[in-house]
Structure 1
């Protein structure tokens, strides 16, 4: 039984490295997509994002997906008694290795500074677009109700902080987890393939940014 468990643990560790490698590749490649490319390698799960938001949306999506996979691999590895330092070193080497491959196969030389500037430019452009967006009128009751609830939650957070009411603040935190984890997921399932999803996503990001300011309040 001990030998069998040891084998299973080893297999899970190997899976962790495989997932980490995929995540590192997606993250590295995504970071270069803030500037326009002749062609893009789009993960199937991010195809709707690319079709709606273009290369900037694809870049952000790949960064999030890649980082998520690397984090999942890290948690899986440490859960199976793996030393975190081993996987962290592997991730650093993997990311640098993928950058080396990308640069060596690119038709033009790209420096780390170019990538950093491209990422910052793309982030600023996206942030400006988010902050200037207005609440959309969507042809979906579930999405409209979600946005109404999110706006109401923003006001609840503000009121809790203004009244210095930690109990109300904690209640807002619980509601936030439910709204953003469950209700948001239900909305995405319904409208993620619709053209109006971009307007929904932009306004959702705007309100969430405001809520995050309240959530970072120090008591």
Structure 2
């Protein structure tokens, strides 16, 4: 099953346990993230709060680079749509940690754990590691049931990043298009399906659809 098919099969109630096949994971440098925009469906007080939060900075440039790399490992670009960073996921995560401060300590602590672990293991921070080295580390923390005790903090951190990445990506237009989600759109009525007419021995009367015109 391909990576995007895997994600489509994940229900909202099971996002916390979403694990992608590591054979599908592809590390890529993080491109410049799209800015995160909130919906205009807000009361004035909410709009002002959103503007204030978006004007603030929490993550450093280096931390956002690492978040971008991780999110693109989780959802890389493919032939159908762009990657997580191209959908604006790093900016989404930046907004979320300001909107919900409870994420700040776990995510910043997780980023430091990741860099410290990679420095001990490869002699350099995660962002400076090779794609193969990054995947090696991700494989060690991506599967909660198989994680070694000394990697538990990294596994908890990766689960949070994975959940935020999937949430951020699939609440954007790019994510909607990737899923084929149409939303509330008007139907194009083409009459009763022929197989239903045949089942009940009926014939379609084209004049019926013109009675309300």
Q: TM-score range by the shorter chain?
A: under 0.3
Say which one has the larger Rg.
2
Q: Which has the higher helix share?
A: 1
Query: TM-score of the superposition, structure 2-length normalised?
Result: 0.25
